[in-house]
Amino acid sequence: MANVLHDALFAPLTGSARRFLILPDGQEMTGGAFAALAARMAHALLAAGVRPGDRVAVQVAKSAEALAVYAATVAAGGIFLPLNTAYTAEEIAYFLNNAIPRLFLCDAAKAATLTPVADAAGARLMTLNADGTGSLAEAAAGQPATFAAVARGPEDLAAFLYTSGTTGRSKGAMLTHANLLSNAEVLAREWRFTADDLLLHALPIFHTHGLFVASNVSLLTGGAMIFLPGFDRDQVIRWLPRATSMMGVPTFYTRLLDDPRFDRALVAHMRLFTSGSAPLLAETHVAFEERTGHRILERYGMTETNMNTSNPYAGERRAGTVGFPLPGVELKITDPATGATLPQGEAGMIEVRGPNVFKGYWQMTEKTREELRDDGFFITGDIGVVDADGYVSIVGRAKDLIITGGYNVYPKEVELLLDEQPGVLESAVIGVPHPDFGEAVFGVLVAQKGAALDPAAVQAALAGRLAKFKQPKGLAVVDELPRNTMGKVQKNLLREQFKGRFAG
């Protein structure tokens, strides 16, 4: 019987002698070698007790083996749950207790700290290290190199991705085989990927962009990937002459533009640069085109939907916009209060419907009902506008979401920890413009009466409790927070007050 995602993405690799991954040391892995590795890991997952519908949570470094765990989980009929490698034990505990995975994979260096966390959630802990070693690798080593994929249909779940809410409580977005495959198929066509493409992959594989956009598109089309562990400017510049395409976040492009080696000759052979996960400044668009002759293709997606819109491959890639709705995706702008569709040109809530839209939030029926309408439209929480030519622009975020370096940060989670610090009466966390990260997390503090706050000490206290990307890049102390007549903090005024904090 069929396994929708496995049959489309991974089964074609079986026995293939074509290169699939080029690793940082220059070694190449064929599609056939990868398929055999994934098959052995699938057998190891079964031996570890994973059954269809079970969650497999992973917090491991990016590697060929880590990608093979994704393939193995899909083949075994499990639900893949990638977790940011920067998350602390305190953060991991929430995800494991909420998702209740059968298996949790982590780096051996973290095993001592995370074993009690896994035990408390009833998950079996195994290890997988950046070099491919670990107890999972050992368990897979003697297994067969072929695996009969477990039957899974279009509406069966393939993955959970967690996305925070304004309350600080993360929500597990349930993504089906059809969600992931339909989006990969559309992107492959729209961005014209083929088996001849060699994608420079420097993104992490614990979120939508690196895993379900970059990797799935390459897998679907039979192309290859230069699989770097992360963005290192020297490494990217070294490998660019061999690539045909690159997917990145704005930080990648601003850092490349800061290097004189990054010039027109270096990328003359490139076919496509795409950007997402955070807004790309218009000046970055202009500087990139002037330097390279290429115009970056910007698109818009989110955890619950994968990609929704894209600037055209052939046609005007308009700076400051995220292009048009992808084929099969319906997009409308509505009144946030009433849900009524607004006239073209008016700003309002972006709602989307299509085969890419998730099934709902894990164990959060009420939250699902609030954000996923009965007619299938998902209320994104983003404020947008559609111009006369049909281009979509994101003009704001209804929930004060901060996107820093491509990662989502919700202020409430940071505020709760700031408010716990000695001498802090209250706090407000905002995003302010940053030349490198797009937005920086910034905290505004009010001191308790008679207390003298040391911002450096407050910042240091958060270091072990929050992933680095969530930690404030700066703190300011004010006498009081601005409030409206209802007592609500007016964060728009704070953003205006501190918008130049990281300017030039």
Measured distance CA(429)–CA(414) in Å, rounded: 7
pLDDT band of residue 103 (cuts 50, 70, 90) is very high
Q: What is the pLDDT of residues 282-325, one digit of tens each?
A: 778 889 999 999 999 999 999 999 999 999 999 999 988 999 99
Strand 28-30 versus strand 19-22 pairing type: antiparallel
Fold of domain 4-153:
Rossmann fold (3.40.50)
Question: Are domains 4-153 and 210-397 of this chain identical in fold?
Answer: yes
For the chain, the domains span 4-153, 210-397, 402-498
SS3 content of the chain, % helix, strand, coil (to 5): 30, 25, 40
Whether pLDDT at 52 is above 70: yes
pLDDT of residue 167: 41
pTM: 0.84
Query: Which ranges of 205-354 does DSSP label H, i.e. alpha helix?
Result: 208, 216-221, 233-239, 250-257, 282-292
Q: Which amino acid is at 459?
A: Q
Q: What is the pLDDT of residues 243-288, one digit of tens each?
A: 999 999 888 998 999 999 999 999 999 999 999 877 777 778 889 9
Q: Which CATH number fits domain 402-498: 3.40.630.30, 3.30.300.30, 3.40.50.620, 3.40.640.10?
A: 3.30.300.30
Whether pLDDT at 78 is above 70: yes
Q: State whether the Cα torsion 246-250-254-257 is positive or negative.
A: positive
Identify the residue whose tokens are 């562990």: 229
pLDDT of residue 254: 87
Tell me the CATH number for domain 210-397.
3.40.50.12780
CB distance 134 to 126 below 8 Å? yes
Whether pLDDT at 359 is above 50: yes
Tokens of 449: 């009466």
Secondary structure element (H or E) that encloses residue 94, with its range? helix 89-99
- Could you say which DSSP state residue 280 is in? P
pLDDT band of residue 504 (cuts 50, 70, 90) is low
Q: Looking at residues 97-115, what average pLDDT do you find?
A: 97
Measured distance CA(151)–CA(180) in Å, rounded: 16
